[in-house]
């Protein structure tokens, strides 16, 4: 099987390099290498967007967690509806705002909208987490999986470096356009392989474990029930939750953390560089909320039930069972898991390189950088990212896991900033910054990194990771939103507000949203909240027995499948309907008219924000280059 797997991967690499070579030929200007000339086609966004969400969720981990915790863990797939809703709220307005102000990245837009370098730096920090630790974690996973599948014929470290080299190679040749083409192709492959693997297993296996005996989880874990609304446990590492950690609050808070994908700088770049007006709604409603969430809900439990082997829940069991039927089917399953990781690696590395070049190199360090210079800078940034990630993945994968756990949660803390940019002009810079600081502290102290540092330096804390079965992102957001709204009360108006209001005036004048009348408006928000309460919130606990032991009947119903699965499928379907309602009916993701660059938000007086080479950098560059460098200012 090792030979077949290597051949399949070599074919994928050849395909990626071919696409990169083609993309290089259509590159109009050298700087198109960074943003594809902001003309990515709709299909690329539609599939790549879904693939990036799947990669950020961590398909590898999602499968293992479902094998370990059963349907309570796979319930988080319903949370993809929340991700789709967040995307509906943000993506169109971000795209419009970028076009109206002429911004190239989400960080650029945030910086000029809030007139803040701190928020820019924050976004760059989040970008770093996605671009190095997350990639390192995904590379380590890829190496581990390949080593296991080849019975150590391909050592993990070798796989890590080979994968990093070839992914770097095609990204450096083809740039952002090639990366998105390949990401979209892998995403389509991923979606088809999920559906195929589930169907193939269902048709060919003599008896499906999921149907025969359910998911074989460990003792004390509820395989097909949610273990309560909340559990007052100290958190992972300090206390145990009875019946499993995936309470309704854990599921809801985990769903909130997944919003971090949509708010990440890389995903923002994907949206901004898309040319089309049609892609957002289709991606959010049918591919992300519909297809991906549905496949993860229905197919992943079937696969997870087959993953139990003598060694525990791992991939060896299902791979050997598939291989006994057909070698190619086993390769297909491995490619399914690998493609999710490869999508994440290629996408976050390329977006990191592009954004660093645009926001750091071009803006602060070398404002006069030519198009060719930008392309070179992006290639160097790519090399540095891959080198750092591959080194960390091969030397300290545990460190990568610890740092990468912060990425989604810290990215989710940008929610108030995005809400301010897209909808709420009264959210001020100081409110966003206060919220970010408090939210980040809460995240740090409910994730391993903060706990390890604090307990190593000072005293043991009485809580562990995700105390009370609440995800760190939700701890952070609770503090973040509270502080943000409180500070906004006191910083409501003033010149800053006038500055922000200019963008909202253009948006409300030229790009109105059709929420309908007061009744329709109220129905939309109230039904969404009721849906969230029943699908993900405390109401989801009803799904444990709702269909197998209906209330007021006193009898049992033999459904053939767990009641919770039926509940999940019903609320996933309703969720898709809600996303469709907002995206299409309210036109929150449908762009009617093409905006033009009509607003300059660049502050004229702020020295820090001025896109000039800071004097100390100019002097340093002058010494390195051996010539006097003039300080260039764009007034």
Partner 1 sequence: MQPLNETEALDRHALVMAIWLALGFIAVILFDYGFGAGGIAAIAAGFIAVLAAFAGHVITNAVYASDFTTREVALGLVLYAASLVTLALAALLAPDFASRNFLPLSLGFVAIAAAVIIYMIIRFGLRRSFDAFDVISDFRSRRTRNDTPDGGIR
Chain residues binding partner 1 by CB under 8 A are 15, 19, 22-23, 25-26, 28, 37, 39, 41, 43-44, 47, 181, 184-185, 188-189, 192-193, 196, 200, 204, 325-329, 331-332, 335
Q: How many CB atoms lie within 10 A of CB 628?
A: 9
Task: Write out the H or E segment, with its range, that includes residue 523.
Answer: helix 518-535
* For partner 1, the closer CB: 274 or 434: 274
> Among residues 280 and 445, whose Cβ is nearest to partner 1?
280
| CB 174, min distance to partner 1, A | 11
Q: How far is the CB of 329 from partner 1 (least distance, A)?
A: 5
The DSSP bridge partners found for residue 309 are 312
Residue 418: both structure tokens together: 């995005």
Nearer to partner 1, 77 or 189 (CB): 189
Minimum CB separation from partner 1 for residue 290, in Å? 18
For residue 631, how far is the Cα from the chain centroid?
39
In our burial notation (b when 16+ CB lie closer than 10 A, e otherwise), range 121-135 reads: ebbbebbbbbbbbbb
The length of the chain is 635
CB of 36 to partner 1, least distance (A): 9
**Closer CB to partner 1, 200 or 426, in the complex:** 200
- CA–CA distances in Å: residue 294 to residues 234, 301, 410: 33, 12, 27
Query: In angstroms, what is the minimal distance from the CB of 177 to partner 1?
Result: 8
**Sequence-distant (≥ 6) Cβ neighbours of residue 161 within 8 angstroms:** 390, 394
d(CA 525, CA 323): 49
Which one, 285 or 331, has the nearer CB to partner 1?
Answer: 331
Shortest Å, Cβ 198 to partner 1 = 13
Q: How far is the CB of 364 from partner 1 (least distance, A)?
A: 31
Q: Are 478 and 457 in contact (CB under 8 A)?
A: no
Q: Of the two residues 272 and 400, which places its CB atom closer to partner 1 in the complex? A: 272
Nearest-approach distance from CB 268 to partner 1, in angstroms = 22
Residue 189 vs 408, nearer CB to partner 1: 189
Contact between residue 565 and residue 540 where contact means Cβ atoms under 8 Å apart: no
C-beta separation of 140 from 160 below 8 A? yes
Residue environment code for 237-261, b if the CB has 16+ CB neighbours within 10 A, otherwise e: eeeebebbbbbbbbbbbbbbbbbbb
Closest CB to partner 1 among 333 and 403? 333
Tell me the CA distances in angstroms from 228 to 62, 65, 286, one per residue in order: 21, 18, 31
Q: Using alpha carbons only, how large is the chain's radius of gyration in Å?
A: 24
Nearest partner of 296 among 579, 62, 570, 564, judged by Cα: 62
Give the nearest distance from C-beta 197 to partner 1 in angstroms. Answer: 10
**Cα separation, 54 vs 349, whole angstroms:** 16
Which of 23, 255 has the CB closer to partner 1? 23
3-class DSSP state of 631: coil
């Amino acid at each position: 099987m090792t030979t077949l797997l290597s051949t399949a991967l070599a074919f994928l690499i050849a395909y990626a390099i071919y696409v990169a070579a083609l993309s290089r030929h259509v590159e109009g200007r050298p700087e198109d290498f960074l943003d594809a000339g902001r003309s990515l086609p709709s299909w690329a966004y539609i599939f790549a967007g879904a693939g990036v969400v799947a990669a950020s969720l961590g398909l590898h981990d999602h499968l293992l967690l479902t094998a370990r915790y059963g349907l309570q863990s796979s319930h988080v797939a319903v949370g993809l509806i929340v991700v789709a809703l967040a995307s509906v709220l943000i993506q169109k307005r971000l795209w419009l705002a970028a076009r109206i102000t002429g911004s190239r990245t989400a960080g650029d837009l945030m910086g000029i909208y809030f007139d803040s370098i701190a928020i820019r730096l924050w976004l760059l920090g989040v970008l770093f987490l996605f671009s190095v630790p997350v990639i390192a974690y995904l590379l380590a996973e890829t190496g581990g999986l390949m080593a296991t599948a080849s019975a150590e014929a391909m050592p993990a470290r070798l796989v890590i470096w080979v994968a990093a080299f070839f992914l770097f190679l095609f990204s450096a040749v083809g740039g952002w356009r090639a990366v998105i083409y390949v990401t979209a192709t892998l995403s389509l492959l991923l979606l088809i392989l999920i559906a195929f693997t589930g169907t193939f297993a269902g048709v060919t296996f003599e008896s499906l474990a999921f149907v025969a005996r359910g998911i074989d989880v460990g003792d004390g874990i509820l395989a097909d029930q949610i273990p309560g609304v909340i559990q007052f446990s100290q958190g992972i590492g300090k206390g145990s939750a009875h019946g499993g950690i995936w309470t309704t609050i854990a599921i809801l808070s985990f769903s909130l953390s997944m919003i971090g994908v949509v708010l990440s700088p890389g995903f923002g770049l994907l949206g901004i560089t898309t040319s089309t007006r049609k892609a957002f709604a289709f991606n959010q409603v049918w591919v992300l909320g519909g297809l991906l969430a549905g496949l993860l809900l229905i197919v992943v439990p079937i696969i997870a039930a087959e993953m139990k082997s003598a060694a525990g829940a791992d991939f060896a069991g299902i791979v050997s069972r598939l291989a006994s039927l057909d070698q190619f089917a086993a390769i297909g399953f491995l490619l399914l898991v690998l493609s999710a990781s490869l999508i994440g690696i290629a996408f976050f590395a390329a977006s990191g390189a592009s954004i660093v070049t645009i926001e750091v190199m071009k803006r602060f360090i070398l404002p006069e950088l030519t198009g060719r210079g930008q392309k070179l800078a992006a290639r160097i940034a790519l090399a540095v990212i891959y080198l750092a990630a591959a080194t960390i993945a091969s030397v300290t994968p545990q460190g990568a896991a610890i740092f990468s756990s912060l990425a989604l949660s810290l990215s989710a803390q940008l929610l108030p900033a995005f809400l301010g940019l897209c909808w709420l002009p009264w959210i001020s810079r100081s409110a966003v910054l206060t919220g970010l600081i408090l939210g980040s502290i809460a995240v740090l102290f409910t994730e391993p990194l903060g706990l390890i540092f604090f307990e190593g330096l000072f005293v043991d804390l009485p809580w562990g990771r995700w105390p009370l079965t609440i995800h760190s992102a939700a701890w952070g957001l609770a503090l973040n939103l509270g502080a943000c709204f409180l500070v906004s009360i006191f910083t409501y108006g003033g010149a800053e507000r006038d500055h922000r209001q200019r963008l909202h005036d253009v948006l409300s004048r030229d790009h109105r949203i059709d929420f309908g009348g007061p009744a329709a408006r109220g129905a939309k928000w109230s039904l969404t909240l009721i849906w969230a309460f029943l699908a993900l919130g405390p109401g989801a606990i009803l799904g444990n027995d709702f269909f197998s032991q209906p209330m007021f009947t006193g009898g049992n119903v033999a459904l053939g499948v767990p009641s919770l699965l039926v509940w999940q499928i019903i609320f996933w379907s309703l969720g898709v309907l809600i996303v469709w309602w907002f995206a299409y009916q309210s036109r929150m993701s449908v762009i009617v008219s093409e905006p033009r660059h009509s607003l300059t938000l660049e502050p004229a007086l702020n020295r820090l924000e001025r896109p000039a080479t800071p004097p100390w950098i100019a002097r340093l560059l002058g010494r390195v280059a051996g010539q006097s460098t003039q300080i260039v200012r764009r007034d």
